[in-house]
Structure 1
Amino acid sequence: MACPTKQHVDIVEFRKSRLNTVKVRQAVLALFSQHKLKQQSNSTLFSDEKYLQIQLTTWKISGGKKKLLKINLPHPVRSDDVDICLISRDEPGKDSESCIQHVQDLFQEKGVSNIKEVIPLKDLIAEYKSFESRRKLVRMYDMFLADKRIFHRLAPHTGKEFYKRNKYPIRVDMEKFFFHSSMCVATTEHSVEDAVDNVIAAVEGLTTKISNGWNNIKALHLKVEHSIALPIHESLVFEDWWAENKIFKEDIQKMKRQLTLEKRTAETDDKEEVSEQKKARKKVKRKTK
């Protein structure tokens, strides 16, 4: 029996998502339940909202220029009317204005338009020392983000007003947010059904935009910060192998680099998860004593 050719392929059909909704719902429910239990064990007094992320692994890597994919979701992750302030790191060798311009240029290049203000860390430390100035700052914006690289330095310079108003900055990995093959599709504040709807819509959008559509998707995982990544789709073979004339040396090198990166990311996530579990157990032991 002869192998099919590209001319025999229904382009719309092979791009269509064939994601199992039941698996998605089970994964979302498990991740949200774990997050809720972790909050209860830590006895948090403020909202500890986390983003639900889709991690995408493909069989073939496009050699084209990296670009931002815009996908419509039925339930917004954040309203367009929300005023967001980003606390950025201090770029080496740059003054405050240059740091702000650097971040704004990056946002403009990637199509991010809902960040209303950028405050470098050194400006936060210098201009918001008093309790009153911090209280005014926290009232000015609906939400705060902070670069992951300076997140550990924020506590002494934000104060209890951020906690009291549930606006403590959310940690953002700037490099992964823009360049890693993952996307935020919901938060732990969404209902399970709304989160499932967003995951389904996001994957349907991805299959229309990536090379080779659904058949090029090797694996899809869901996770929230510091959680394990739960698989919602895995493919053991590239279904469009017959349509490829050659496997170029550059493609193999790219695949090896991607696998190495995924392995390092998984190891880091595992270490962070173990660390979080140890901290949670210690807190429980202290309470029982």
Structure 2
Amino acid sequence: FSHTCNMEPTAGNKVELDSFQVKKAVQALQAYLKSTSNQKQLLNETEQICLLVTFWKIPKKDQTIRIPLPHALRNESVEVCLFTRDEPNMTADQTERFYKKLLTQIGVKYMPQVIPFKVLKTEYKPFEAKRKLLSNFDIFLSDARIRRRLPSHIGKHFYLRKKAPLSVDLTNKHLAKVLDRLIQGTTLTVGNKGSCCLVRVAHSGMTTDEIVENIDATVGTISKKLFMKGKSIKIIHLKSHTSISLPIYTSDLSHLKVLEEELKKASLAKASRKQQKGKKKSGLKEKAAKEAVAEKDVKLDGGDDGGENVKEEEEIPQLVPIESPSKKPKLEDAHRKGSKKVPKSSATKRVQKPKQGQRKMVKKAPKTQQKKQKKASV
């Protein structure tokens, strides 16, 4: 082993582990586990060894990173469950037999128990049945074609216990290798609710060199596949479920200066964008003002040449009142002054003009007079 384990991640997330420090931490943890595992040795149980990864920032998005390991975490006795889709024109039993035959033909090392989607919906619908299913298996796999339909049927406890099914393309030509890598490897779930996450890398039954190689592979894969840009990993600790955390990597404090510079650059970029937007708006306003002034000048120039014609066109002719034919024309002033008013007789006073809307009342002559008038006319 060289003094430093130089991995080949992206330039922003480059992590250099001190192999001497890693080996020292592993040996200290193994000594602690041996002193506290007298009861577990009787039951042939091994304790999990994990890496606690702390980031500088809380991730913005959730991410699941699959990590292949050079030394398998699980034994051949591991319990694996595989959720498959319902094959057309097949019952649940026929579907289960079909996939078991397929897995034996390709030579899968870890034979999973096949559960068709129809069986999951019917037999594992009660809450107690889901809890038993969760406790009976160590790892869950799912057909990629039904991955989106599983969360509503398996419940939230699979995700809280970090046993969410890993999707597998069952139509892959190299299906046996894919399944073995998934079962032998490990997964890191990066959440957006905190800056720390835990990943299993080994168990107490491994040798020191095997644990160190798994740690090296895990850190390299995490630094390569992280969505976060720049130096994102702050501290890495090695621990078991019952031990204290032993630091194996600490980021340089000079990284804080890099973060400050990035923040300054981001703030300057925002300020420049705002200035550009303000300049664009002011330029548009100036253009509009210039166009308005030009329009006014054009109107004034047109008024000097033919202003009288424009005024004449704009003037509206006045309406002259027309005298009604019922009224008599007014006499001249001179004649009006010379003439005297004639007193109206009592007969004329009695006869009044009918008002509008009223019928004229005409007195009819007696019948004898009407007859005389007709004879005279004849």
Give the structure-1-normalised TM-score.
Answer: 0.49
Greater relative contact order, per chain length (Cα 8 Å cut-off, separation 6+): 1
